[in-house]
């Protein structure tokens, strides 16, 4: 049975009227939700730890900024927008001691609730509003009058009003413009992690780098390899986004179509699907979450090394030079604060 899709006609900001929306954190999702809600007419404050570099950025964007504990005290709906593995510590130190009956905890990903790094009291509402896109896209689409589709989920609902609040928040950040469906914390967490690891981030990054390496190692220029394996990927994905895989195939040449349907399944074959299933199993049984939490607790050594190794890949140097020839591609500083990335 198809899921019900909630749109603009199904939601309004009314359930947030007279409430204070406290956004804890001002990174990618935090800044997008805060700015979109504020511009939609909600009363939004920001909670950050003392010394956070994001304080100045949030203040420059017109927000009142409080220490996290104080923001929780002042907030009626508290959006926990800090990294997944830091949520547990922030919750214990600053959120839990200041939660009172009737407040609403809101998440944009189910990780902390599903893997129980946060166990909220029974008299607090717990909901999720998860835009299906990075925060910077959530913000950009909103400013363009569009919206990233989203998910809502209800984990605890002592007030019996949580769904209306979730839809109001989704409306305020622009998700109902693109369509919102209801899920649960388990489904959202496990499918989100699977998509990130095997297709959207991990799978795509590894596929692009491998294709680049094969062409360069065969003697072709890195510039040609970059265009064929990275630059044109956006063009293909845009076509898929607009009209599905079949629609993309309609738009490409017959030769490209033949290569797609004949060779593609030999590359992404049954062995890849088998490894995808293994990755899903580790998400479902909690192994991935435990390893990731342990990595964050032991100083991010492997994580930081893998990221630095990725930045040194030859495709990055080649891409930077070629992108500089295309002034219409906006230059991004990914070394600064996420809320300044615009």
| Residue 101: both structure tokens together | 């009956």
- In the set 31, 33, 109, 114, the catalytic residue is 109
Reduce the secondary structure of 238-292 to three states and give it as a string.
HHHHHHHHHHHHHHCCHHHHHHHHHHHHHHCCHHHHHHHHHHHHHHHCCHHHHHH
How far is it, in rounded angstroms, from Cα 210 to Cα 270? 19
Q: How far is CA 255 from CA 243, 250, 263, in A?
A: 20, 12, 11
152 DSSP β-pair partners: 129, 182
Kindly state the tokens that stand for 202.
């991990």
Residues 26, 47 contacting (CB under 8 angstroms): no
Instruction: Give the pair of three-digit tokens for residue 77.
Output: 């709906």
Which stretches does DSSP call E strand in the chain? 5-6, 20-24, 43-48, 65-67, 77-80, 104-107, 125-131, 150-156, 180-183
In whole angstroms, give the CA distance from residue 148 to residue 137: 8
Cα–Cα distance between 226 and 7 in angstroms, integer?
A: 39
Q: Decide if 109 is catalytic.
A: yes
Tell me the pairing of strands 125-131 and 150-156. antiparallel
User: Which residue(s) pair with 46 in the sheet?
Assistant: 23, 65
Active site residues: 109
């Amino acid at each position: 049975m198809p899921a019900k899709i909630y749109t603009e006609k199904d939601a309004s900001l009314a359930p947030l009227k007279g409430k204070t929306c406290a956004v804890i954190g001002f990174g990618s999702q935090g800044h997008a939700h805060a700015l979109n809600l504020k511009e939609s007419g909600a009363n939004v404050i920001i909670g950050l730890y003392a010394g956070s570099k994001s304080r100045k950025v949030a203040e420059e964007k017109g927000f009142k900024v409080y220490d996290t504990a104080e923001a929780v005290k002042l907030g009626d709906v508290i959006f926990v927008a800090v990294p997944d593995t830091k949520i547990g510590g922030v919750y214990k130190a600053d959120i839990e001691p200041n939660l009172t009956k009737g407040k609403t905890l809101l998440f944009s990903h189910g990780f902390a609730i599903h893997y129980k790094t946060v166990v909220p009291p029974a008299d607090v509402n717990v909901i999720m509003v998860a835009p299906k896109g990075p925060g910077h896209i959530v913000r950009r689409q909103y400013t363009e009058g569009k919206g990233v589709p989203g998910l809502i989920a209800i984990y605890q609902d002592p007030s019996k009003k949580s769904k209306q609040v979730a839809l109001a928040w989704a409306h305020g950040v622009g998700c109902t413009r693109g369509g919102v469906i209801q899920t649960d914390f388990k489904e959202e967490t496990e499918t989100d992690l699977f998509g990130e690891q095997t297709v959207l981030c991990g799978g795509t990054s590894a596929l692009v780098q491998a294709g680049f390496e094969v062409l360069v190692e065969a003697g072709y220029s890195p510039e040609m390899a970059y265009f064929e394996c990275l630059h044109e990927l956006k063009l293909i994905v845009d076509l898929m986004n607009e009209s599905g895989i079949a629609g993309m195939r309609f738009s490409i040449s017959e030769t490209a179509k033949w290569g797609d349907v004949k060779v593609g399944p030999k590359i992404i074959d049954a062995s890849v699907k088998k490894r995808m299933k293994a990755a899903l199993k580790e998400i479902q049984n909690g192994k991935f979450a435990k390893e990731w939490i342990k990595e964050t607790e032991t100083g991010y050594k492997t994580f930081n090394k893998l990221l630095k190794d990725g930045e040194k890949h030859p495709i990055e140097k080649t891409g930077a030079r070629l992108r500089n020839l295309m002034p219409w591609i906006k230059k991004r500083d990914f070394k600064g604060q996420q809320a300044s990335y615009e």
